[in-house]
Amino acid sequence: MKNWKKGFIAGLAATLTFSLTACSSGEPSAGSGDSGEKVEIVYATGKDVTQGTRKLIEAFEKKHPNIKIKYKEMPADTGQNHDQLVTMFSSQSSEIDVFNLDVIWPAEFAKAGYLQPLDRYIEKDKINLNDYIPGAVEAGKVDGQQFAMPKFIDAGLLFYRKDLMPEAPKTWDELIQKAKEAKSQGKTQYSYLMQAKQYEGLVCNFLEFISAYGGKVLDENGNVVINSPESVKGLNKMIEIAKSDFVPSNISTFTELESHTAFIEGQSVMIRNWPYQYALAQDQKQSKIVDKVAVAPLPSGDKGSAATLGGWMMGINKYSKHKKEAWEFIKFATGAEGQKISAVYGGSTPTYLPAFDDEEVKKASPLFADKNYVNGISAAVPRPVSPVYPKISEVIQIEVSKAITGKQSAEDTLKNIETQLKEIVKK
């Protein structure tokens, strides 16, 4: 999935041109861009194939002539990016000042003492966090403190063939009904596609189902609460779909690659996927369904629609010697002007909600002007915020895979997950 996050950035950018301690006290450093002192800060982020990062830095430096941004390119592979950052921070290096981090990293980095809390800065500059997509803000909050600001968002969405199905299903029950109807009419080989292989994508799909019915993995205090009637209902709905005759019989081998390929080849009426799917469906070089696709929020359960959150945050290195200047850059990049630049030149979906009202942002991509798309990403929920998230994910992958392949019931699956997660969290 992480590779396709990058594909989404490149894909949406393509729609534009059809072309992605020393400071343990926590006090800001002396000197700022307004004091006349020249300061250079290092910004670490993955490779950007668009103009977004360059334009963002140029605009910031123009507005803050005494703060220079040095761009440090990190590995495109998020795992390697993560490991390099951990190596630097664990040695208390001040080599970088501000950096991008995957939405699933804040808890780990905050607990390890790598991130500077941002609450004082947010309060001082009167940043209204209600102006941002809620799930994106929550992904940067750990133990009640805000450690990262959301830069851009990725979220699960429903894409459907508008030539075969005029309206998207509003609920998961309606999706099942429409899928069965499409199957019986022989409109396409399949009616619905999802990511159900034993990997991170399966966790994302699972979270969307249980969240739609009110289920959670962890509560606000980090306690394991996954074994609930709500989670059982959500997982049973997922099992019902995975075992139906309107999805591929080998759906448990499908990642983004297999599902999006089948969809753009015209083999399915509907697909759950990330936003990059839209640009891919519009690519005349490889898609057989150009101009035939629409987007909608994922169907609702008893508690509403839920989409698993993806995307990237911005944080300050706890060991930075220029925290105040680093915050100025984060404030700019995640504020109105920076979010607009990233959307127009980088194809990045804003997390700052007022940006979607900007006419230039609307023109940058058809998705940004689509209220269904905005509603879909606004329903995004973060994955469990925990410093041991990789271990949590592994347990969920193994157990849910057994459930959707008919090896165990939803009830047994959730009991097994609960038992294992309680041990992991306790340790």
With a pLDDT cut of 70, the percent of the chain lying above it is 92
State yes or no: pLDDT of 80 exceeds 90.
Answer: no
Determine how β-strand 145-146 pairs with β-strand 141-142: antiparallel
Residue length of the chain: 427
Mean pLDDT of the chain: 90
Degrees, nearest 5: CA angle 255-199-269: 30
Q: Is the Cβ–Cβ distance between 364 and 347 less than 8 Å? A: yes
Cα torsion 138, 356, 193, 299: sign: positive
Whether 389 has a pLDDT exceeding 80, the answer reads yes
Q: pLDDT per residue over 82-97, tens digit each?
A: 999 999 999 999 999 9
What is the residue extent of each domain of the chain? Answer: 2-154+310-375, 155-308+383-426
pLDDT at position 378: 87
pLDDT at position 36: 65
Identify the H or E element spanning 260.
Answer: helix 256-264
**What is the 3-state secondary structure of 77-90?**
CHHHHHHHHHHHHH
Residue that the structure tokens 């696709």 belong to? 293
**CB-hemisphere CA count at 13 Å for 7?**
15
pTM over 0.95? The answer is: no
What is the C-alpha separation between 355 and 174, in angstroms, rounded? 32
Cα–Cα distance measured from residue 336 to residue 351, given in angstroms and rounded to the nearest whole number:
10
- Could you read off the pLDDT of 272-324 as tens digits, one per residue? 999 888 888 988 999 999 999 999 999 999 999 999 988 999 999 999 999 99
Q: Do domains 2-154+310-375 and 155-308+383-426 have the same CATH topology?
A: yes
- The pLDDT assigned to 8 comes to 40
pLDDT at 339 over 60: yes
Average pLDDT on 403-408 reads: 97
The tens digit of pLDDT for each residue in 128-155 reads 999 999 989 999 999 999 999 999 998 9
Residue 219 CA to residue 70 CA, distance in Å, equals 39
pLDDT at position 24: 32
pLDDT given at position 51: 87
Instruction: Report the CATH fold assignment for 2-154+310-375.
Output: D-Maltodextrin-Binding Protein; domain 2 (3.40.190)
pLDDT > 90: percent of the chain: 75
Q: For residue range 190-214, what is the model confidence (pLDDT) as tens digits? A: 999 999 999 999 999 999 999 999 9
Q: What is the CATH number of domain 155-308+383-426?
A: 3.40.190.10
Distance CA 309, CA 292 (A): 26
Mean pLDDT of 13-29: 35
